Amino acid sequence: MPTSIKREGLTIDDVGRLVRRTVLNPYLTLPIAAAIAWFEKHPEHYRDLHLHKLIDPSKLADIGRYLTGIGVAGATLAANDQLTHLFANNFTSPGHGEWDWDKEIVLVTGGSSGIGQNVVQGLLERNPRTTVVIVDYAPLSWTPPTGAKIHYYQADLTKSDLIRSIAARVREEVGHPTVLINSAGTARGSTIMEGSYGDVESTLRTNLTAPFLLTKEFLPEMVRNNHGHIVNMCSISAYIPPPYIGDYAASKAGLQMLHESLQLELKHVHKAKRVRLTLAIPSFIQTPLLGGSHPGQNNFIFPLLHVRTVSEEIVDSLYSGYGRTIYLPGIMRYLASLRGGPEWVLRMVKEPTYKIALNFAGRQVVDVDESGGIKLEDREA
């Protein structure tokens, strides 16, 4: 059973998957269309099998054309999926034994709760021997399994000097991370006019500058070994930004540009085609970022995602050995494409977002100083 039915209830993604596996499945529709075409040329066999009692032979031509059209549409979608996969991975496949999760070192920002926590837990469920480094300003809100190789570093990700020092400590004390998951995120929930300087700087530094700097710190070793995987947590707000989180939306749009630019640099500049990149573009998620509030959108079209649904997609991507773009729910990919369409259509889609009821009462509401830094009792712990 699809995870969305178990956690989010029936959604448009579940219907879409069913349609793709049946009506738009070219391996199903095209053979049937071919069989119909054969029976049209050999009507005696059609009668011998008594199929004329089920479907009037005079209707076969129309049914065949209909199924052929649907089959071609399904084949086009399947080809699009395959080409997207091939280009995302530079037409390369993981080598045999390339990913050894006993030896991989995974660094996760924001791993004390939310998506980061669930990604770490998902990785440890797959392989308890995987080494995980957690970098976060908040202490762990969960207890790692006994014997788990968890290394925790407390750090304010708005401070570039701390990022540099933590990265050096990780390399010296643990080793070079082969997987970087930039899942730490913050949002202040203020309008552009009313938000303080500290609000804006804290959001942009945590959500965009920190992933940039962490990528710079750990990418060189990945490039040298032509082995690694970087996961960035984007958001649908990068495409359809609602009010009150303009700084957050801007940071996520910037993160997407980081991802796309890095794709080209890895392939053409650094010649490291096997370093994988994954970009997650979810809608609203039940994380501490929302403080337990519900945005109030239609659950069938835009379900409030369970954090485990998102983390499982990320872990699956890591274990596949391939990079990809994760749209959750899947309809997000079509909304993203509106950016290239008529501006008035995009505006009509964005207009209702002012009604979204968000309560930023979670972990993102922390004290920030005038420079945008997080007020921690012990940043260096």
| Sole residue written with tokens 């109030």 | 296
Task: Please state the φ and ψ torsions of residue 151, each to the nearest 5 degrees.
Answer: -120, 120
- The CB-based long-range contact list for 202-206 (8 Å cut-off, 24+ gap) reads 202/158, 202/368, 202/372, 202/373, 202/374, 203/247, 203/248, 203/251, 204/247, 204/250, 204/251, 204/254, 204/372, 205/157, 205/158, 205/159, 205/372, 206/157, 206/158, 206/251
DSSP, residue by residue, 165-206: HHHHHHHHHT---SEEEE---------TTTS-HHHHHHHHII
The SS3 of residue 228 is strand
Query: 286 by DSSP, 3-state: which?
Result: coil
Cβ atoms of 174 and 73 within 8 Å: the answer is no
| C-alpha 299: how far from chain center | 19
Q: Which of 153, 239, 248, 322 is catalytic?
A: 248
The one catalytic residue among 137, 239, 252, 327: 252
Residue 201: other Cβ atoms inside 10 A: 20
Helices (H), the chain: 3-7, 12-21, 26-41, 43-48, 60-88, 114-126, 160-173, 197-204, 210-225, 246-264, 307-320, 332-336, 343-350
The CA distance from 255 to 208, in Å, is 6
Question: CB of 143 within 8 A of CB of 117?
Answer: no
What secondary structure letter does DSSP report for 285?
A: B
Under 8 Å between Cβ of 334 and 347? no
Is residue 153 annotated as part of the catalytic site, yes or no?
Answer: no
- Active site annotation includes 197: no
CA distance linking residue 274 with residue 272, whole number of Å: 6
| Long-range contacts, stretch 46-51, CB < 8 angstroms, 24+ apart | none
Distance in angstroms (rounded) separating the CA atoms of residues 19 and 32: 16
Known catalytic residues? 248, 252
